[in-house]
Amino acid sequence: MSEPQLVEHFFRHEYGRLVAVLLRRVGAEHLDQVEDAVQVALVQALESWVLRGTPKNPSAWLYRVAHNSLIGALRQQGNQQRLLDQFLAPVESEASAITTDDQQAQERGDEDMLCMLFVSCDKDLPLESSLVFALKTLCGFSVPEIAQRLLKTEANVYKRLSRARQRLGQHRELRDGLTAEHYSDRLPAVQQVIYALFSEGYLSSHPDSAIRAELCDEAIRLAKMLSEHPATQTPDSLALLALMHLHRARLSARCSDDGALLLLEEQDRQHWDKYRIAQGLQYLAASASGSSLSRYHAEAAIAAEHCLAPSFEQTRWDRIVENYELLNHVAPSALHQINQALALAERDNPAVGLAHLEAHEPPSWLQQSYQWAAVKADLLLRTGEAEQAKPYIQQALENAPSKAVRQLLNRRLQS
Amino acid sequence: MPKQLYLCIQRSDPQAMSGGEEPSPAQMEVMFAKFNAWKEQFKEEIVDMGGRLGAGAVVTSDSTIDGPFAECKEIVGGYMIVETETLEQALEVARQSPGVFPGASVEVREISKT
């Protein structure tokens, strides 16, 4: 691996997992020391691996170094003998078990991750602060990525992050374990973290990579664990899992051979993963119980309509519009309205879509986003208002988060 | 013959499935139909209330839930419990459920009453 790849892969992927594994063992009150230890391990990896080559089992190597560094820090603090006794014993078996090649070890890492997600989604914290903390500390997101994902300013993300760290640092509940009540109280927040993780993989805000399948797969593994645990196995969790499988099934068809993003219209539907679609539908059927419909149900239904459509033209747009209406009832958002406008443009005609868009004045954060500008430009172009579309095309291209998205918009709006 | 409980566990991870026959569009529509039947109730609720439905739709039990796949109301996360007289019958119920498609396997186990 080259140096930039190392940084990219390990800072993103291993960082959060290592923090979760260590934090679960020593408790959230040692968050600072745990993060320091993980950073030490990553810096050492950079120096040592570039010089001597990547070890056979990079994850275990990182775990061992981070673990030793953490022990050193805890010793210096003194008065941590009980913790050290508990923590020192299992090091060798843990280090060998932590390899990501081994499925069992991956499951154990996922378990630690999920546990820490529940710890970080503390009820005393505002939901958004929990999301910021979990995405930053456990999922390896950068602050700009979180800002983009949660539609916040970077300053706001920093503020939330520092408050969440402070609050979680006072925590001792890991020692006693989380109760079933904790799990059910915090489930909606944990679902949102997993959803955000998946969304980032589905269409990345990262400047160089449009799709990051590994994030999607991690989110699916975490949601699958939710669907298997009695305390978290709710219809919403199953719908979330269905939604992710249905989107994941189309992932490889969303890129052309040269890595450019493809529009739904352009995708070769032969390449959609039918087994994965069937699996998503299976979870969707299992989610169809209870007396409430969550946003995940509505979103999964939309994804299923796309997966089952034999072609773009033959898509049941009437049902997609209906599902967007449901979605807007359970989770009102201007973002959903712009998607509904596109569905209306297909069901009826572009003028109807445009009218819907104009009837729903977007909040300022959305008005500045590339998505709103791109939809507005697209619908104006399709109703023959090329002149009016120009400033929106400009705005969409300027605000596109990545090169791949900019290329896609260019192709769609300037051809 | 007294009725007996059987646990049907579905084994259907993507790797395991990819060896089998690709699910057909018709089979996938059947799987989707159960969800859509359940979803109907929420649609009506929204219409009834003139679109004023807020977050977290609370809906009373409605006969539209009981679509053609009543036995599947018990399916949660890849397993279901069926009550039949024989193992053969339990297998048949499992086979008929919309969650089962080509390539997926179902393991059926008798649940001991003691």
Q: What are A271-296's pLDDT values in tens digits?
A: 999 999 999 999 999 999 888 899 99
What pLDDT is attached to residue B69? 25
**For residue A7, pLDDT beyond 50:** yes
* One-letter amino acid for residue B98 of the chain: P
Closest residue on chain A to B38 (Cα)? A288
Confirm whether pTM is higher than 0.80.
no
What pLDDT is attached to residue A187? 93
What pLDDT is attached to residue B108? 67
> CB pairs below 8 Å between A and B: how many?
110
What pLDDT is attached to residue A181? 84
- The token pair that represents A281 in the structure block: 């539908």
B56-93 core/surface letters (b: 16 or more CB in 10 A; e: else): ebeeeeeeebebebeebeebbbbbbebebeeeebbbeb
Residues A168, A180: Cα–Cα separation, whole Å = 20
CB B29: neighbour CB atoms within 10 A? 14
What pLDDT is attached to residue B98? 46
Please answer whether residues A412 and A386 qualify as being in contact, where contact means their C-beta atoms are separated by less than 8 angstroms.
no
- The reply to whether residue B28 touches residue A278, judged by beta carbons under 8 angstroms, is yes
Where does A254-385 have alpha helices with state H? 274-287, 295-308, 317-330, 334-347, 350-359, 364-367, 370-382
- The reply to whether residue B39 touches residue A284, judged by beta carbons under 8 angstroms, is no
Q: What percent of chain A has pLDDT over 90?
A: 31
**For residue A235, pLDDT beyond 60:** yes
Q: Which has the minimum average pLDDT: A58-67, A169-178, A337-346, B94-103?
A: B94-103
Q: Which has the minimum average pLDDT: A30-39, A53-62, A95-104?
A: A95-104
| Residues B28, B31, B35: CA angle, nearest 5 degrees | 130
Highest mean pLDDT among A130-134, A209-213, A246-250: A246-250
Given CB atoms, is A308 within the 8 Å cutoff of chain B? Answer: yes
- The token pair that represents A279 in the structure block: 């699996």
**For residue B15, pLDDT beyond 50:** no
Give me the mean pLDDT over the A352-370 stretch: 87
Query: What strands, in cross-sheet order, belong to the sheet with B4-11?
Result: B79-84, B4-11, B105-110
Out of B28, B34, B103, name the one closest to residue A288 (CB). Answer: B34
What pLDDT is attached to residue A413? 86
Please answer whether residues A359 and A334 qualify as being in contact, where contact means their C-beta atoms are separated by less than 8 angstroms.
no
- Of A182 and A316, more confident: A316
- Of A234 and B14, more confident: A234
A63: confidence class by pLDDT, cuts 50, 70, 90:
confident
**For residue A350, pLDDT beyond 90:** yes
Given CB atoms, is A293 within the 8 Å cutoff of chain B? Answer: yes
Residues A153, A142: Cα–Cα separation, whole Å = 13
Please answer whether residues A336 and A298 qualify as being in contact, where contact means their C-beta atoms are separated by less than 8 angstroms.
no
- The reply to whether residue A278 touches residue B31, judged by beta carbons under 8 angstroms, is yes
| CA-CA-CA-CA dihedral for A272, A278, A281, A285, to nearest 10 | 180
Q: How far is residue A139 from each of residues A36, A99, A214, measured CA to CA in Å?
A: 16, 18, 12
What's the gap in Å between the CA of B2 and the closest CA on chain A? 29
- The reply to whether residue A227 touches residue B58, judged by beta carbons under 8 angstroms, is no
Residues A188, A52: Cα–Cα separation, whole Å = 45
What pLDDT is attached to residue A357? 92
- The reply to whether residue A238 touches residue B76, judged by beta carbons under 8 angstroms, is yes
Q: How far is residue B51 from each of residues A93, A267, B47, measured CA to CA in Å?
A: 58, 35, 6
Q: Which chain B residues are closer than 8 Å to A310 by Cβ?
A: 25
What's the gap in Å between the CA of B70 and the closest CA on chain A? 11
B52: confidence class by pLDDT, cuts 50, 70, 90:
very low
pLDDT in tens, A157-205: 999 988 888 888 776 655 556 788 888 889 999 999 999 889 888 887 6
* One-letter amino acid for residue B23 of the chain: P
- Of A30 and A87, more confident: A30
Residues A231, A330: Cα–Cα separation, whole Å = 23
Where does A121-142 have alpha helices with state H? 127-133
- The reply to whether residue A322 touches residue B43, judged by beta carbons under 8 angstroms, is yes
What pLDDT is attached to residue A138? 85
**For residue B5, pLDDT beyond 70:** no
ipTM surpassing 0.85: no
What pLDDT is attached to residue A278? 92
Q: Which chain A residues are closer than 8 Å to B13 by Cβ?
A: 279
- The reply to whether residue B56 touches residue A292, judged by beta carbons under 8 angstroms, is yes
- The reply to whether residue B22 touches residue A275, judged by beta carbons under 8 angstroms, is yes
- The reply to whether residue B39 touches residue A297, judged by beta carbons under 8 angstroms, is yes
- The reply to whether residue A281 touches residue B28, judged by beta carbons under 8 angstroms, is yes
Would you list the DSSP string of chain B? ---EEEEEEEE--HHHHHTSPPPPHHHHHHHHHHHHHHHHHHHHHHHHTTT---SS------GGG--TTGGGGG-BTTEEEEEESSHHHHHHHHHHSTT--TT-EEEEEEPP--
Q: Which of residues 30-59 of B touch A (CB under 8 A)?
A: 31-32, 34-39, 42-43, 46, 51, 53-59
Which residues touch A310 (CB under 8 Å, ≥6 apart)?
A: A269, B25
